[in-house]
Amino acid sequence: MRTVTLGADRGISARARAGRRMKPYLFILPILLFAVGFVYYPFFRTFLYSFSAVNVMGEITSFAGFDNYRYLFSRREFCAAISNTLRLTAMNVPLTMLITLLLGRLLKEKRFLCGLFETMIAATMAVSMGSAALTFRVMLNPTVGWINSVLGIGVRWYEDRNTALYGILLLTVWMGIGFNFLLFLAAFRNVDRDVTDQARLDGAGTARVFFSVELPLVSPTLLYALCTNTILALMTSGPVMILTKGGPSRSTTTLIYLMYTTGYGSGNYAMAACVAAVTFLLTLAFTLAGLWADGKRGDAK
């Protein structure tokens, strides 16, 4: 069939042929324009800013070398932001994955009411961060909230510097459940039935089958989820902005929140760029691993 079109080519002018050669580039041009303008350009400009002295208009006035970074690492709020972000990530990722692995495995078999439970859990991923944050604010309110009174505890959640980060953690874990649950559910359902049945015939119990057969078989998905969750957790900012504004006394300031307040709030572009650069470097390894894992996950099908 191709030869037909090639044959037709011979009859037309050189200009038309050049036009035909340009065609794929024309199709790609629009998306490329926006990718360069709103992803690559800001990315390189961010790195450039981080090594420059920048005025409040966002114009570069001089080269500053590592001065910005040196200054940044000496600031208390930056150290707090790094520590809060890393602590949040270190707690969020394992918790989210443990909960959703359990849920995914439990709902693997298609039984009575299974579809209903599935929809109920998965639908939470369509709930916006804004709605969720506001709900948690009321739910965890120390006086009118339902949670404290039912559990009989007097925790002041978002108003106490010792617990505010855990309050944010609760919310971010909850927000991750829907997506991760669907991922793991799909992965467990893709495990070949014959393999688990054979293991069971060989005398392995449910727990043994889970740890020695199913878990290794879903490991590409596990790795993919690990990377996606880590990157998402490192980007935590919305809940902080809505619920605590980084407080009380900096206990919930995260990297992106700090970037937002220094760059947008105080117009300090150079500092904001440094924070962005550090955050980006933190995510880089996980992004690469995630892409690699996703490739493997695709191959496994």
Partner 1 sequence: MNARRKIRKNARSALWSVLCFCLAVPVVFPVLYAFLGSFRTAGEFSRLPPALFPDSFLNFDSYVQVFTRVPMARYFLNSLGTTALVCAVKLCLSILAAYAFAFYDFRLKNLLFVLILGTMMLPADTLIITNYRTVSRLGLTNTWLGVAVVSFAGASQMFMLRQAFTQAPRALRDAAFLDGCGDMRFLWRILVPVCRPVVITLLMQVFVAQWNAYLWPLMVTDSDAMRTVQVGITMLTGAEDTNYQVVLAGACAAMVPPVVLFITVRNRLTASMTRGAVSD
The reply on whether position 10 binds partner 1 by CB under 8 A is no
Taking the complex as a whole, the smallest distance from the CB of residue 143 to partner 1 amounts, in Å, to 8
Q: At 99, list the tokens.
A: 């909960």
Using the rule CB under 8 A, give the single segment among 77-85, 195-203, 208-216, 289-297 that binds partner 1. 289-297
Query: Which of 176, 133, 180, 175 has its CA nearest to residue 157?
Result: 133
The reply on whether position 39 binds partner 1 by CB under 8 A is yes
DSSP classification of residue 35: H
Among 10, 15, 111, 193, binds partner 1 (CB under 8 A): 111
Pick between residue 80 and residue 241 the one whose CB is nearest to partner 1. Answer: 241
The reply on whether position 7 binds partner 1 by CB under 8 A is no
The reply on whether position 38 binds partner 1 by CB under 8 A is yes
**C-alpha dist (Å) from residue 205 to 11, 102, 202, 211, 286:** 72, 17, 9, 10, 35
Using CB under 8 A as the binding rule, the residues of this chain from 62 to 81 that contact partner 1 are none
Among 16, 40, 70, 79, binds partner 1 (CB under 8 A): 40
Taking the complex as a whole, the smallest distance from the CB of residue 290 to partner 1 amounts, in Å, to 9
The reply on whether position 151 binds partner 1 by CB under 8 A is no
Using CB under 8 A as the binding rule, the residues of this chain from 255 to 284 that contact partner 1 are 256, 259-260, 263-264, 269, 272-273, 276-277, 279-280, 283-284
Pick between residue 76 and residue 301 the one whose CB is nearest to partner 1. Answer: 301
| Cα gap 161→297, rounded to integer Å | 41
- Burial annotation 259-282 (CB, 10 A radius, 16+ → b, else e): bbbbbeeeebbbbbbbbbbbbeeb
| Cα gap 114→130, rounded to integer Å | 29
**DSSP track, 162-182:** TTHHHHHHHHHHHHHHHHHHH
Taking the complex as a whole, the smallest distance from the CB of residue 8 to partner 1 amounts, in Å, to 9
**CB within 8 Å of 271: residues ≥ 6 apart:** 68, 71, 72, 262, 263
Among 32, 79, 90, 195, binds partner 1 (CB under 8 A): 32
Among 61, 162, 190, 198, binds partner 1 (CB under 8 A): 190
Pick between residue 7 and residue 203 the one whose CB is nearest to partner 1. Answer: 7
Query: Which of 73, 99, 101, 235 has its CA nearest to residue 168?
Result: 235
| Cα gap 294→116, rounded to integer Å | 29
